[in-house]
A and B are shown apart, each in its own frame.
Chain A
Amino acid sequence: MSWLGVDVGGTFTDLVLFDRVSGSLRILKTPSTPRNQSDGILTGMGLLGIDMSGLERFVHGTTVATNTALERDGASLAVLTTTGHKDVLIVGRGNRMAMYNIKAPPIRPLLPRSRCFEIDERIMADGTVLRPLDEAQVERVADDLIKAGVEAVAICFLHAYANPDHERRCAAIIARRMPNAVVTTSAEVLSEYREYERFSTTALNAYVAPRMKKYIGDLRTRLLQAGSLAPLSIMTSNGGALPAPLVEALPVLSMLSGPAAGVIAAGHIGAMARYPDLITCDMGGTSTDVCLVRGGEYGMTTEGRVGAFPIKIRQIDINTIGVGGGSIASRSSGGFLTVGPRSAGAFPGPASFGRGGTEPTLSDANVVLGRLRLDRPLGGEIRLDKQAALKSIGELAEAIGITTIEMAEGILRIAAVSLAGAIKEVSVMRGIDPRDFALLPFGGAGSLHAAEVADELGMRTVVVPPLPGNFSALGLLLADSRRDFVKTHLSRTSETGVQDVRQRFKELISAGEKELSEGSAGSQGRQYLASLDMRYSGQSFELSVSCPLDVADMETIEKKFGEVYAARYGATTKAPIEIVSYRIAIWQISEKPVLSPPESSGRSIETAITGQAAVIFGGISHDVPIYQRELLPPATRFPGPALVEEDGSSTVVPPGWDAMLDHVGCLVLNRA
């Protein structure tokens, strides 16, 4: 009886297997197989020796949807839109992507303009029909689409959130004429106003859907062939896992699949370890994701993007910065030093990976300083070449006129400042003091840098969770089911009855329940969370205000809006208040693995030390002990400088910090 979480990343595929009988967790890291991600998964499952018949749950974090969109490798797509508006997706919002650059390259739209077809129909803002749908024209366009070999069709009509009838009828015709094509309508993806953002979300969904469908179908078949009947769920960007058939139809929900799982795990572990206020720092090879978790709750946003394209799906508010282990350090005209966003990536990788990379990276700096060590191969396969690291860092040092060691420490410092900057964006810049939070690093490189990043921000606690190298995969097993629904209906609070609000929530819930049941989601233990997008009349951005389903009167809603507004902008105004959109999150709480506390008997600090290493801090070489995390006794403090090693990750405990394994197995670093 076991549950499996599988997170596929750019370089590695991470597996976490929870044995329900013994309560044990087993992990594995194996190289990803970008051509077909399921190859790597099956390999990993084989290596773990999973009993297929005993597998009860398979939760998957996948980059198929994101990569398909970023690599422009999706379906042959067509968009059908309202007459007069074929350029919504081609023009976007007319903003500039490259500041101050007279040679800003034109944005390559998701599909050629010649694949945007105008259909005669028009619905008004209030949902009334101005011009009926010209069905004969849809039939004629279908002929063209068939001739052009179109595989996916996005139907994007103006004001479809107010009245989806034309979109539905158009979709029915296209589906009848093109039974093998994926057909998506804007109102089913996102029943929210602002056409560019809704159309973009819809078109992206259609664009990636055929690939996603094929991938999930293929994975399911192979699991079946291997003897597993476990239901397959996919992690989605809002932090909830959904049954695979639902995500097949709405793959745009899974754009942040892996990163969302990491935040879920952080929230869960943070609660267990009694750190409800944390900032996550998921550091990989090319980038780092940070997210603020307060009182166990992470923020949500609808301002996501994939490449240049907006996705208005509600997702976890994660801030990404282009600094990771593979980030290249370089010097530009005038002598400005930078670390990232250019990255050596997985190939050729850092100089020390011995795959042909020559430019100095953050990983190389860690190798030079003795923090990344040579005798533990990374991900089971990469052996580090210290000479190559010394050479690459040395060359940059010479150009600047400092020593190699100063250069390596300098690269780490600049990276720490950049990472601190990314954290400031989600904290300080929103009026939140990061010193009230613990830093929770994970990912391959997170715990190497965490203490220095914390120092930069004045944070005094770093919580390195269990399995930091496979943390997102663990999060997959900790996720509940969640689906967010939205509907735009603009009205002033003064002209809206509270019973209308309650009725709209009710309608959203019943539509949502219908979709979930069609997607074969179970219906036990449902919870509903309602919120309203509100603003003062005249503003163009809304604030999300949570609202009880059975809200008693409009004054309660207005008062709550005033509080949220004041918290964000400092003061309120007397302008009329508007409700713009209604939101419902449908939750289904899932059973979670219970993590066993760390073993204490027979362990001691002394026996956890398996070696010594020369590590440089502040230009001085220290002989530091190397602790094996799996041998550490709980509740026993040890001082820095020290290295703590485990599979898939190492933690640096600098001088001035100490560390201790806590009661749930987190390695907690404190500023002494």
Chain B
Amino acid sequence: MVIDPITLEVLSQALISTVREMRATVCRTASSVAIYDAKDFSCGLFAPDSQVVAQSEDIGSHVVPLPWSVRSAMEKLGSGLAPGDVILVNDPYSGGTHLNDVTVIYPIFKDGKLIFFPAVRAHWADVGGMVPGSMSGKATDIYQEGIRIPPIKIIEGGKTNEAALELMMSNMRVPEERLGDLNASFASCRVAEKRILEICDRYGIDQLMEAVRLDMDRAEARMRASIDRLPNGTYYYEDYLETFMGGKFEPLLLPLALTIRDDRMIADFTGASTQVPFPVNSTAAVSAASVFIAVKSVFDPAAPLNQGSFRPIEVITPPGTIVNVQRPAPAGSHGEIRKRVIATMIGALSQVAPSQVAGDLCRTSFHNLLGGFDTRAKREWVHYEWSAGGNGAFAEDDGPSVMAPIDWGDLVTVQSTEVMELRMPLLVESSRLAIDSGGAGRTRGGLAMQRGLRVLAPEARYSLLADGAVVPAFGVLGGMSGFPVGAWIDRDGEIEDFDSPGKISGHHVEERAMVMIRSAGGGGYGDPLERDPERVAADVEEGYVSEQAARQLYGVVLRPDGSADAAASDRARQRLRGLRFHIATVAAADSFEAGAVSRRRVIRLNPRDAAAIGVIEDELIEMDAGVAASLRGWVRIDSNVPKGCLPIDERACAIMKIKVGDKVELRRILSSVRPRVLFADAAE
């Protein structure tokens, strides 16, 4: 079968257009606000061998994992499909994301032959479980998160399996709305069926299938060309998810070994923390999709979204870990794994493509819930808020402040004060950028959002599920960290901190008290002492950077009129360079210590070196050689370590692109957390 290049283009547009029409149909007909307002759903078109042919493009976190669901459903039911069959699945352990994402897979037959599957995955507002909405920060196993639907034929030979449907609906809240959502997915698939058959009639099935094949092949070629430009080798990074166990801090390690082999890429997460009985874990599908989102975002944002572009990328996620959750651990919250996988990808890629990456971004999904029962208005209220943080700086420009991260598509993240105040007993006292929250650098990380929400009801409860409250976004190429996530209560200037930053559950807030929340700042790019002093002066003028930070982090001295004093700044920069604490590395076999479930990197320092930098036991600090991402670890003061020596393992050398014996800079993470968090004890 030969197809001319123009018809190929026309057919690939026709397939994309079909997916857009599927999407519009879901929007028009769904019952859940989450679907038609927040666009929390995705559509795709699949070939008989489960390869994704075309996908909608809006929200990466939702769209990109869809092919995994289809593949695992096909493995189970693919051989026995007949016209009139429709498959339903939501099982995270079978290629899904979390239980709320329910997928409909709809085989299309032409002349008795299976030719395509349209599929729709939509976030149902409720799938049963321990709380309304099904996702709970307190879930310890998946059974608390709702009903699990393994791949089943919900319609068989045109006949709906009423028993299965009734069983499902009996286990969900507001079942009539769920039925509406299900019908919206069916309607969307039927639209696709109609269009696909029209395309077959006009161009012939053979020509269409050939176009599909070529379209995937050229997407693959494009991705391979992007990877092929990178030097071969294995690159590393490591980062942490944050949990508290019995009130003590337990960072969960996520290490990445990223191998570039010619035009292929292998992302290996071997060594990731074992799964935990909290909603932190996620599925292999989510982890792999996040790797792909990072690659696409760094190398080729305009690349087509089909199976071809996934082919050159292999992702290894050991079962039973936080990146490949197994029964019965919960999988409800997958936003943090996504962001941490993206962060490790950026950290590793900073070693091989430093001009193409950015500082770490946003850091967390930042789920804030404030609500309660308003006894005056006699009604329940809940305010849900997820302000974006700062994005990472990159070679050409500063990181955008308060902008949805790359896995969130065009989601709106800042809620209207006027809408909130019309609906909730809340007064938004302030909603401003947090000064100095963007990581310092030659280009500066984006700023975080800081909001003050005053409670006007007799009482309220505040919950927060966020990462990046202890370990902030890292900078690259000598750029500094952004501010971590913050939350505290302000009672007329009297501040109450939380002792488990980022993880707050139903904290009591009385009337007139103000809940202050701050999202994460973005990481900086390049050495801040190389930033154009005029840009620093402009940042001070605009209130993005304080005068103090200009002086202490950027070495820029301002004249009384606000302009940069070049000569004085030169001197200040020289002085700051001299004050940096560089230390010689020596080889160590292992730089990790065990925690309650996971391992974490420790930085062993002679007491005098620790005193020289002003760090204390358990403090999070970073090591940096200024050529890739900085590397973090927790301080262990150890008099057995000789003064002026920093024992580090091979992996740390690789991450910082240094050889043992080279000097690295050790620095405090200035935006450290209040109050100090205490580690959970190691498991016996």
Residue of B nearest to A130 (CB): B427
Which residues on A sit within 8 Å (CB–CB) of B541?
A: 112, 114
User: Which of B293-301, B565-573, B582-590 is near enough to bind chain A?
Assistant: B293-301
The answer to whether A93 and B412 have CB atoms under 8 Å apart is yes
Which residues on B sit within 8 Å (CB–CB) of A90?
A: 401, 433
The answer to whether A158 and B417 have CB atoms under 8 Å apart is yes
Asked if A430 is at the interface of the complex by the 8 Å CB criterion, the answer is yes
User: Which of B29-37, B142-150, B553-561 is near enough to bind chain A?
Assistant: B29-37
The answer to whether A103 and B358 have CB atoms under 8 Å apart is yes
The answer to whether A106 and B430 have CB atoms under 8 Å apart is no
0/1 per residue, A86-109, Cβ < 8 Å to B? 111011111111111111111100
Inter-chain CA distance A404–B346, complex, in Å, is 44
Min CB–CB distance A185 → chain B (angstroms):
16
Which residues on A sit within 8 Å (CB–CB) of B304?
A: 334, 336
Which residues on B sit within 8 Å (CB–CB) of A105?
A: 396-397, 400
Min CB–CB distance A643 → chain B (angstroms):
23
The answer to whether A195 and B219 have CB atoms under 8 Å apart is no
Provided the pairs A102-B358, A540-B37 are in contact, do residues A95 and B13 lie with their beta carbons within 8 angstroms? no
Residue in A86, A104, A107, A540 whose beta carbon sits within 8 Å of that of B419 in the complex: A540
The answer to whether B36 and A569 have CB atoms under 8 Å apart is yes
0/1 per residue, A103-142, Cβ < 8 Å to B? 1111100001110000000001100001000000000000
The answer to whether B432 and A95 have CB atoms under 8 Å apart is no
Residue in A114, A193, A194 whose beta carbon sits within 8 Å of that of B542 in the complex: A114
Min CB–CB distance A106 → chain B (angstroms):
4
- Contact residues of A between 66 and 98, Cβ < 8 Å to B: 83-88, 90-98
Inter-chain CA distance A181–B94, complex, in Å, is 64
User: Which of B1-9, B116-124, B278-286, B370-378 is near enough to bind chain A?
Assistant: B1-9
The answer to whether B449 and A91 have CB atoms under 8 Å apart is yes
Min CB–CB distance B154 → chain A (angstroms):
19
- Contact residues of B between 429 and 472, Cβ < 8 Å to A: 429-433, 446, 449, 452
Inter-chain CA distance A253–B392, complex, in Å, is 37
Inter-chain CA distance A100–B58, complex, in Å, is 9
The answer to whether A410 and B28 have CB atoms under 8 Å apart is no
User: Which of A286-294, A421-429, A597-605, A654-662 is near enough to bind chain B?
Assistant: A421-429
Inter-chain CA distance A335–B220, complex, in Å, is 11
The answer to whether A99 and B409 have CB atoms under 8 Å apart is yes
Residue in B222, B416, B417 whose beta carbon sits within 8 Å of that of A333 in the complex: B222
Residue in B9, B36, B411, B419 whose beta carbon sits within 8 Å of that of A193 in the complex: B419
Residue of B nearest to A414 (CB): B9
Asked if A58 is at the interface of the complex by the 8 Å CB criterion, the answer is no
The answer to whether B414 and A94 have CB atoms under 8 Å apart is yes
Asked if A637 is at the interface of the complex by the 8 Å CB criterion, the answer is no
Provided the pairs A88-B431, A114-B541 are in contact, do residues A96 and B4 lie with their beta carbons within 8 angstroms? no
Min CB–CB distance A415 → chain B (angstroms):
11
Min CB–CB distance A164 → chain B (angstroms):
14
Provided the pairs A84-B432, A429-B21 are in contact, do residues A107 and B413 lie with their beta carbons within 8 angstroms? no
Asked if A523 is at the interface of the complex by the 8 Å CB criterion, the answer is no
The answer to whether A94 and B417 have CB atoms under 8 Å apart is no
Residue of A nearest to B299 (CB): A102
Inter-chain CA distance A196–B416, complex, in Å, is 7
The answer to whether B33 and A96 have CB atoms under 8 Å apart is no
The answer to whether B544 and A113 have CB atoms under 8 Å apart is yes
Which residues on A sit within 8 Å (CB–CB) of B401?
A: 90-91, 106
Residue in B6, B20, B399 whose beta carbon sits within 8 Å of that of A413 in the complex: B6
Inter-chain CA distance A501–B544, complex, in Å, is 46
- Contact residues of B between 518 and 561, Cβ < 8 Å to A: 541-544
The answer to whether B432 and A87 have CB atoms under 8 Å apart is yes
The answer to whether B403 and A94 have CB atoms under 8 Å apart is yes
0/1 per residue, B304-324, Cβ < 8 Å to A? 100000000000000000000
Inter-chain CA distance A193–B404, complex, in Å, is 23
**Most B CB atoms within 10 A — which of A87, A113, A414, A430?**
A87
Residue in A91, A400, A421 whose beta carbon sits within 8 Å of that of B13 in the complex: A421
Which residues on A sit within 8 Å (CB–CB) of B613?
A: none
**Most A CB atoms within 10 A — which of B13, B358, B418?**
B418
Which residues on A sit within 8 Å (CB–CB) of B346?
A: 102
Residue in A86, A102, A114, A421 whose beta carbon sits within 8 Å of that of B17 in the complex: A421
Which residues on B sit within 8 Å (CB–CB) of A225?
A: none
Interface residues of A, CB < 8 Å — how many?
69
Min CB–CB distance B340 → chain A (angstroms):
16
Which residues on B sit within 8 Å (CB–CB) of A306?
A: none
Asked if B421 is at the interface of the complex by the 8 Å CB criterion, the answer is yes
Which residues on B sit within 8 Å (CB–CB) of A490?
A: 422
Residue in B33, B293, B413 whose beta carbon sits within 8 Å of that of A100 in the complex: B293
Min CB–CB distance B137 → chain A (angstroms):
22
Asked if A22 is at the interface of the complex by the 8 Å CB criterion, the answer is no
Residue in B13, B33, B301 whose beta carbon sits within 8 Å of that of A538 in the complex: B33
Residue of B nearest to A409 (CB): B6
Asked if B60 is at the interface of the complex by the 8 Å CB criterion, the answer is yes
The answer to whether B219 and A334 have CB atoms under 8 Å apart is yes
Asked if A159 is at the interface of the complex by the 8 Å CB criterion, the answer is yes
The answer to whether A95 and B417 have CB atoms under 8 Å apart is no
The answer to whether B36 and A104 have CB atoms under 8 Å apart is no
Asked if B681 is at the interface of the complex by the 8 Å CB criterion, the answer is no
Asked if A385 is at the interface of the complex by the 8 Å CB criterion, the answer is no
Asked if A524 is at the interface of the complex by the 8 Å CB criterion, the answer is no
- Contact residues of B between 358 and 398, Cβ < 8 Å to A: 358, 361, 387-388, 391-392, 394, 396-398
The answer to whether B416 and A94 have CB atoms under 8 Å apart is no
Inter-chain CA distance A472–B60, complex, in Å, is 40
- Contact residues of B between 130 and 181, Cβ < 8 Å to A: 177, 180
Inter-chain CA distance A99–B409, complex, in Å, is 6
Provided the pairs A100-B293, A337-B9 are in contact, do residues A95 and B411 lie with their beta carbons within 8 angstroms? yes
Residue in B31, B419, B428, B542 whose beta carbon sits within 8 Å of that of A571 in the complex: B31
Residue of A nearest to B176 (CB): A573
Residue in B177, B387, B400 whose beta carbon sits within 8 Å of that of A107 in the complex: B400
The answer to whether B410 and A99 have CB atoms under 8 Å apart is yes
The answer to whether A406 and B406 have CB atoms under 8 Å apart is no
- Contact residues of A between 532 and 551, Cβ < 8 Å to B: 538-541
Residue in A91, A104, A413, A425 whose beta carbon sits within 8 Å of that of B391 in the complex: A104
Which residues on A sit within 8 Å (CB–CB) of B392?
A: 102
Min CB–CB distance B351 → chain A (angstroms):
16
Which residues on B sit within 8 Å (CB–CB) of A401?
A: 5
Asked if B10 is at the interface of the complex by the 8 Å CB criterion, the answer is yes
Which residues on A sit within 8 Å (CB–CB) of B58?
A: 99
The answer to whether B6 and A430 have CB atoms under 8 Å apart is no
Which residues on B sit within 8 Å (CB–CB) of A85?
A: 417, 428, 430-432
Min CB–CB distance B547 → chain A (angstroms):
14
0/1 per residue, B579-617, Cβ < 8 Å to A? 000000000000000000000000000000000000000
- Contact residues of B between 1 and 56, Cβ < 8 Å to A: 4-6, 9-10, 13-14, 17, 20-21, 24-25, 28-31, 33, 36-37
Inter-chain CA distance A190–B394, complex, in Å, is 38
The answer to whether A86 and B432 have CB atoms under 8 Å apart is yes
Which residues on B sit within 8 Å (CB–CB) of A96?
A: 403-406, 408-411
The answer to whether A99 and B301 have CB atoms under 8 Å apart is yes
Q: Known contacts A91-B433, A113-B542, A430-B24; can you find 12 more A-B pairs with CB under 8 A?
A: A96-B404, A100-B406, A103-B394, A104-B391, A106-B399, A114-B542, A334-B218, A429-B24, A431-B25, A490-B422, A570-B187, A571-B31
Q: List residues of A whose CB falls within 8 A of some B CB.
A: 83-88, 90-107, 112-114, 124-125, 130, 158-159, 193-196, 332-337, 400-402, 406, 409-410, 413-414, 417-418, 421, 424-425, 428-431, 490, 538-541, 568-571, 573
A–B complex contacts, Cβ < 8 Å, 29 sampled: A84-B430, A84-B432, A91-B433, A94-B402, A96-B404, A99-B409, A100-B297, A102-B298, A105-B397, A106-B400, A124-B427, A125-B422, A159-B421, A193-B418, A333-B222, A333-B226, A334-B218, A334-B221, A334-B303, A410-B6, A413-B6, A414-B10, A417-B9, A417-B10, A421-B17, A425-B20, A540-B33, A569-B28, A571-B31
Closest 6 A-B residue pairs measured CB to CB? A334-B222, A410-B6, A84-B430, A94-B413, A429-B24, A94-B414
